Amino acid sequence: MSNDTSCPNDSLQLQSKLARVLRRARELQPVSAGSTPARDLPHSGTATLYRYGSGEGIPLLVVYSLVNRPYILDLSCERSVIGALVRGGITVYLLDWGYPGPMDRFQRLDDYIEDEIDCAVDNIVARHDTDRISLLGVCQGGTLAVCYAALRRERVRSLITLATPVDFQTPQDTLYRIVRHVNIERLTQALGNVPATGLNTLFTSLKPFQLLYRRYLRLAELGDDEQALQAFLRLEQWMYDSPDQAGAAFVQFVRDFYQANGLVAGNLRLCGKSVDPTRFTGPLFNAYATADHLVPPAAAKALANLTGSLAYHEAEQPGGHLGLFISQHAHRRLYPILVEWLHQCG
């Protein structure tokens, strides 16, 4: 009969470590997010338009996803996409969509493009005395940016897409398999806006071991590293600080992009016009992550065959979806290249 008692002892040690880390985590709350100074600018839409940088650099508008909050791009000084761009001489403008309320349930993707993105571009070109700007789209926001560049090509000097899906029916796309037969209209008729809690549960279920068990098991090892613990808490706060989704826009996105795969099929219409990405012929920088479970590489790489860009550049990065924004590798390799590319093309 074995006398090995290492397993109970290990369990007790783990419990003790976790208890100590959780006590320290409570003491550190609330954690701050956002390390780059920002200025709130007048904007005629319902979103908030922020400016980062002196206002003298190349103007770049960031269009973030509707599903999450944009401060993942500026979590800390060490891992800030916005900070890297500003230090590289770029004036960054960011549309913060905020938190849609019950009165926003009828807001469409057309409204986000015409009343938010286009109005922000109006603001920026007036400030910089130019007729075109550079546009950076992130995830779902990248899909909207591709659509905007196709519809208003004369206003976009160069286009950047990060973790951006354009083919929504690739074999590895788990989200497509989940929503392909869902009656989205009926869902929003019952709920109005789509609750963020439901979407968070869905996204977590796609990768439960990594996002739950392994992530929290590693928490026990952060007791002696306060900087790492604060980074963990910032990311934790971001993961569960998600807005509800405006019902009409959510229906459009699922129906027209996932279920109809409109960009690939060539039958997408927004703002009363056909969306044809080949109409945009300017420089395009498309970056994606090799292990992205939300935007499979094939979903992003399909842009190469859809765009009309005469100067298309593709950048593959190791890691998962969030690693494209916060990993050391991305900040050492990807963003210096992107800054240089913007100075050449922006």
Instruction: Report, as residue numbers or ranges, the catalytic residues.
Output: 139
Prior bond of 171 cis (ω within 30°)? no
**Residue 49 is encoded by which pair of tokens?**
């338009």
d(CA 296, CA 294): 6
Query: What residues contact residue 279 under an 8 Å CB cut-off, 6+ apart?
Result: 150, 153, 308
Evaluated on CA atoms 265, 66, 141, 303, the torsion sign reads: negative
d(CA 128, CA 133): 9
d(CA 275, CA 267): 8
Nearest CA-CA partner of 58 in 94, 95, 85: 85
Nearest CA-CA partner of 256 in 134, 113, 136, 156: 113
143 in Cβ contact with 168 (< 8 Å)? no
Alpha helices in the chain (DSSP H): 6-28, 81-87, 109-111, 118-128, 140-151, 174-179, 184-191, 196-205, 208, 215-219, 226-239, 247-252, 262-265, 297-301, 303-306, 323-326, 328-329, 335-345
Three-state SS for 168-198 is CCCCCCHHHHHHCCCCHHHHHHHHCCECHHH
d(CA 54, CA 63): 20
**Residue 112 is encoded by which pair of tokens?**
């986000």
